[in-house]
Amino acid sequence: MLRVSLRGNIVTVAISCLLFVLVACGDDDSDFAARPSDGSSLSSSSAKSSGSVYGSGPCKVETDENCFKDDRDGQTYKTVKIGDQVWMAENLNFETDKSFCYNDSVEYCEKFGRLYTWAAAMDSVGTWSANGKGCGEGVTCNVASMGSATLVRGVCPEGWHLPDTTEWSTLFTAVGGSSVAGTKLKSTSGWYNSGNGTDAFSFSALPAGNRNSNGNYSHEGDNAFFWSSTEFNSNRAYHMNLYYGYDGALLDYSNEGNGYSVRCLQD
């Protein structure tokens, strides 16, 4: 038997149920199911990444080598190259409808970025592009069926897009496989109960927690959730999950009304 402590609530589970517990704690009002493991999305490949960071230290001005400026609001973001992908090394903080600060406090947005419903992450109203238009809760939205328009810019700045599950899986492979991706991608501070990562590739994932579809905030300090552009069904979409007590990274699906973080990937 294994005893898992979640901020004072002791849960006893069989080892065979461990992954279910780790994932289910992140979504208080919807069903979770692990993504099928017969594909390549959760590969344990030991492929290595270049992990080159575009600069180091604060990202404050557009001319910094490691900086990208979002012309919509002037905010800047660090970027990092991992394998063949270039990611934002910070959570998106662009304010739009159906985006929130944890506990409705601006200080959390400054630290963690904003939490977006899936419709907001996809830009379902089509403000910035048409690829995610109409994608929202209760509506079936098969992005892959759009042919050449498979990249969904969503709420991301021009030249960037919301990653799909395949692109998240590519990231896992680049850092050594899904079984160690959590440790490699998590920041070196801020995680509950010695759950910090090594941040070996400067992805710097922070435990921003979530906002569920009922408007309740939870799991700041112990979970990080990032939306993908891949939908599971008309009410659920896939996300990437990192957990303080787990070395790996998970792809799972949850209620599209939940508020999760967004990491943008360069086109």
The number of folded domains in the chain is 1
The pTM of the full predicted model, rounded to 2 decimals, is 0.78
Task: Give the model confidence (pLDDT) of 135-171 as tens digits.
Answer: 878 888 866 555 445 799 999 999 999 999 999 999 9
DSSP strands (E only) in the chain: 2-6, 9-13, 67-69, 76-82, 85-88, 99-100, 115-116, 160-161, 210-211, 217-218, 223-231, 236-243, 250-255, 265-266
- Kindly tell me the burial class for residue 240, based on how many C-beta atoms sit within 10 Å of its own C-beta (0-12, 13-18, 19 or more): buried
CA torsion through residues 98, 216, 234, 164, sign: positive
Q: Quick: pLDDT tens for 15-61.
A: 333 333 343 444 444 333 333 333 323 222 233 334 434 334 456 54
Residue 129 — pLDDT band, cuts 50, 70, 90?
A: confident
List helix spans (H) across 158-267.
Answer: 165-174, 178-185
Look up residue 248 and give its two tokens: 């790996």
- pLDDT value, residue 200: 98
Specify whether the CB–CB gap between 70 and 94 falls below 8 A.
Answer: yes
Q: Whats the size of the chain, residue-wise?
A: 267
Which residue segment(s) compose the domain that 218 sits in? 2-266
Are 42 and 169 spatial neighbours (Cβ–Cβ below 8 Å)?
yes
Quote the DSSP letter at residue 24: H
